Amino acid sequence: MRLQSALENSITPSKIILLLVLLAALIVSIIILSWVPPVSRDALTHHLAIPKLYLTHGGIYEIPHLEFSYYPMNINLLYLLPLYCGNDIVPKFIHFSFALLTAGLIFNYLFKRLDLFYALLGALFFLSLPLIVKLSITVYVDLGLIFFSTASIIFILKWIESRFKLKYLIISACWCGLALGTKYNGLVVWFLLTLLVPFVYVRRGPGGGINQGKAAGYAAIFMAVALLIFSPWMIRNYKWKQNPIYPLYHSWFSQLKTPALADISTGYDGDKRNADANIKAGSTPARERIGLFGYRKIIYNESWWEIALVPIRIFFTGRDGDPQHFDGKLNPFLFLLPFFAFIRFSKAESPFRTEKWIWLVFSLLFILIAFFKTEMRIRYVAPIIPPLIILSMIGLQQLNVWVLARYSADSSRIPRVLTTAITTTLLLINAFYIMNQFKEVQPIGYLSGRVGRDAYIESYRKEFPAVQFANRNLPANAKILSIFLGNRIYYSDKTMISDPAILLKAIGKSDSSGKLSMDLRKSGLTHLIVRMDLFDNWIDNNFSEKKKELIRLFFKENMKLIYYKNGYGLFGIEE
């Protein structure tokens, strides 16, 4: 009793009030950071671009030259209404709402198992995490995936707690199906949870290890219900591409091959550093030829041990906008604190031992699958964040209990200092990131009216003036091929194609600049928008002298420069 009293005394009301104030300040900060025009790459390539095309067309339709249009789009469809009303900032708040919902799940779970302090701290830790802040102020879909996957796991825990009532398993499967329909990373969630269901039932079910048939039946139910929720997107893709999960695979058995010259359209958020790396690797994407680990070794000059430590490095060395450093930032405490959740500081058995292991196993397997299957991006493993937040809070609470028991239950000073020190440090790491976001996003100038919408967008997207010139001056039937724009087509009101294979094919079969021009015109193209520095580098590294001369003559004799600014040129293709 004395230990429990000391533990309660170490968590003072003032700390609760402080956490509430910080939570409110964080939400206000995210709202301010979000209230600017969208400039993030994925928003402009598909999360806003595809819904805008659907609105223009009057409904969902196949867009063959945009691979992103074949992705599941549960969250993207929510962006249709604000776009229809002419607002492209509200989608950020729709996306942020899923972070708030996830924070609610974390709070509710920790409040029931620990107390109010750790529940509030867990919600605050989650919402202030650098990756979550970055996602909250951009038009992505990852926060939806995080929410749906967390809800699915929580209802599996409810299924276990209720002694395997079927309704909780079905609810969990429905959440998992929504995760599948949000992003293809949900396939990993579905795979892991489908395996988890029979394993848990065999270990914890009333029949012990004997009732394996019933365990398999539960797994089948979970798998089928999740796929049923996901099925509209599978049916769509099967109708269009005869592959329900296109573009992950060309067919059921052959892995997708990225078209040659894909580097010309994608790049990495317009980052010359990454584009140059792709150019250096050649016209065929390097990852397909040398593998994920070989790619890191050659392009990033990493040793074998640096590559092996990638699943740990993501917690310590993440950096926004840097593919070598996983294009995102976490917090080291997200890696360190969960260890304490599994250290037994007393002989008493943890009342939720099984739940802790479920959170841990899910996180570990998810990281390992991502590590071996794709080039690591922190966003790709985002569903592990709520489990690790929960384990971090359990670990912090157990550490607090251990210190109390070790030093004296009569004195709460040591655990009070310990809890305060850890909490302050982990929140300061997140706070510094948020302050840097204000420097990077610069919302005050826009909100105060000192910077207009067009000027704000141009400061982040240098191609914007060329796109705007095309919107205002080209005929309605203009069809533009974008070169090294990173597929960022959202701000174009004209038909803009990001299919570099058109140019590659035309160059390959042409023996004169006139033939090249004619072939491009036959494909319906009337104009090109080109980022000139990357285009010149690509030409120098990928073509023979004969083809270089052909391209030079083509730009001199058959292309008319209409507009040029910030290194981007708008050209008309002359007959």
Computed over every residue of the chain, the mean pLDDT equals: 87
Q: How confident is the model at residue 500 (pLDDT cuts 50, 70, 90)?
A: confident
Q: Let me know the angle formed at the C-alpha of 491 by 147 and 507, rounded to the nearest 5 degrees.
A: 110
292 CB-near residues (< 8 Å, 6+ apart): 372, 374, 375
Res 299: pLDDT: 84
Q: Looking at 454-567, which runs of residues are DSSP E strands?
A: 479-483, 495-497, 527-531, 559-565
426 CB-near residues (< 8 Å, 6+ apart): 125, 331, 333
pLDDT digits (tens, 9 = 90+) for 202-255: 887 676 555 778 899 999 999 999 999 999 999 999 999 999 999 887 544 344
Burial of 405 (0-12, 13-18, 19+ CB in 10 A): middle
pLDDT at 111 over 50: yes
Tokens of 14: 């003032």
pLDDT at 406 over 80: no
129: left (phi over 0), alpha (psi -120 to 50) or beta: beta
CB 459 within 8 A of CB 156: no
Q: How confident is the model at residue 563 (pLDDT cuts 50, 70, 90)?
A: very high
Q: How confident is the model at residue 408 (pLDDT cuts 50, 70, 90)?
A: low
pLDDT at 341 over 50: yes
Res 399: pLDDT: 86
Res 345: pLDDT: 65
d(CA 244, CA 230): 10
pLDDT digits (tens, 9 = 90+) for 38-82: 999 999 999 999 999 999 999 999 998 888 899 999 999 999 999
Q: How confident is the model at residue 125 (pLDDT cuts 50, 70, 90)?
A: very high
Question: Tokens 């994608």 correspond to what residue?
Answer: 266
Residue type, 296: R
Res 19: pLDDT: 93
522 CB-near residues (< 8 Å, 6+ apart): none
| Closest among 169, 166, 140, 156 to 73, alpha carbons compared | 140
**Rounded to the nearest 5°, which phi and psi values hold at 480?**
-110, 135
Q: How confident is the model at residue 272 (pLDDT cuts 50, 70, 90)?
A: very low
Q: How confident is the model at residue 503 (pLDDT cuts 50, 70, 90)?
A: confident
Res 350: pLDDT: 66
Res 561: pLDDT: 94
d(CA 351, CA 354): 8
Calculate what percentage of the chain has a pLDDT beyond 70: 87
pLDDT at 177 over 90: yes
CB 117 within 8 A of CB 15: yes
pLDDT digits (tens, 9 = 90+) for 456-476: 999 999 999 999 999 999 999
pLDDT at 309 over 90: yes
pLDDT at 339 over 90: yes
**Residue that wins the pLDDT comparison between 5 and 320:** 320
Res 404: pLDDT: 72
97 CB-near residues (< 8 Å, 6+ apart): none
pLDDT digits (tens, 9 = 90+) for 530-547: 999 999 888 888 888 888
Res 412: pLDDT: 54
Calculate what percentage of the chain has a pLDDT beyond 90: 64
pLDDT at 1 over 60: no
pLDDT digits (tens, 9 = 90+) for 325-337: 999 999 999 999 9
Report the predicted TM-score, pTM, of the whole model to 2 decimal places. Answer: 0.90
Of 30-34, 158-162, 375-379, 415-419, which range is least confident?
Answer: 415-419
d(CA 300, CA 317): 14
Res 444: pLDDT: 95
> Residue 214 CB: number of other CB atoms within 10 A?
16
CB 188 within 8 A of CB 370: yes
d(CA 274, CA 18): 42
Angle at which helix 13-34 crosses helix 116-128, to 10 degrees, equals 20
Helices (H), 284-412: 286-299, 304-308, 310-313, 333-336, 353-373, 385-407
